[in-house]
Amino acid sequence: MSRKFEDKQLVIASHNQGKVSEFRELFKSFPVELTSVSELNHVEPDETGDTFQANAELKALAAATRSGIPALADDSGLCVEALNGQPGIYSARWAGPQKDFDFAMEKVRLGLVEEGTLNTRAYFIAGLALAWPDGHVEYFEGRVDGDLVWPPRGLKGFGYDPMFIPDGHEITFGEMEPDAKHAMSHRAHAFKQLIDACFKG
């Protein structure tokens, strides 16, 4: 049985403004006040885990412990089949210290060229960890499958969105309106599990 969220405040344990904006959109119909770790001047811990779950839990626990408020962390990434699941948990690190995702997307493209493959299959994973200051954690994971395209298309979204077309669609996440993406993204799938388990009933 999952623990129910009964607080009024929630810290979003991310300095990524794209993620923070997406969470504000997802939570807009819930009576909870969101604060990001950027607003609290928290430094994010090093992501030393080797899974999405480990890194999400590490970040959520650090924020909850420091703030004394429940915290929600996301660890997500693009997994490319022909690259043995890379960049995966290293998706943000592929963008370098400047968080240059044009560079990261080019790195993916070059990786596929080096493999000499026509396999463009990929998927996004989002792991969500909700942590309380007492150390309790609930974890949820979502996935969306699709294909990669080049050159990247669209200025909406963030990260690798402009090169990813989800199954059943003809436009990239970077071309989708936010409401359309939020209805079916990897983060949306994990978020629905979180809401059903911790915010309903």
- Using one digit for the tens of pLDDT, what is the confidence trace for 140-166? 999 999 999 999 999 988 899 999 999
pLDDT digits (tens, 9 = 90+) for 55-112: 999 999 999 999 999 999 999 999 999 999 999 999 999 999 988 999 999 999 999 9
pLDDT computed for residue 178 by the predictor: 86
Q: Is 44 helix (H, G, I), strand (E, B) or coil?
A: coil
All structural domains of the chain: 9-199 (3.90.950.10)
Cβ-contact 19, 81 below 8 angstroms: no
User: Is residue 116's pLDDT more than 70?
Assistant: yes
Query: Is residue 75 flagged as an active site residue?
Result: yes
Of the listed 74, 75, 147, 167, which one is catalytic? Answer: 75
* pTM, rounded to two decimals: 0.89
Of the candidates 199, 186, 188, 193, which has an alpha carbon nearest to the alpha carbon of residue 140? 193
pLDDT computed for residue 183 by the predictor: 86
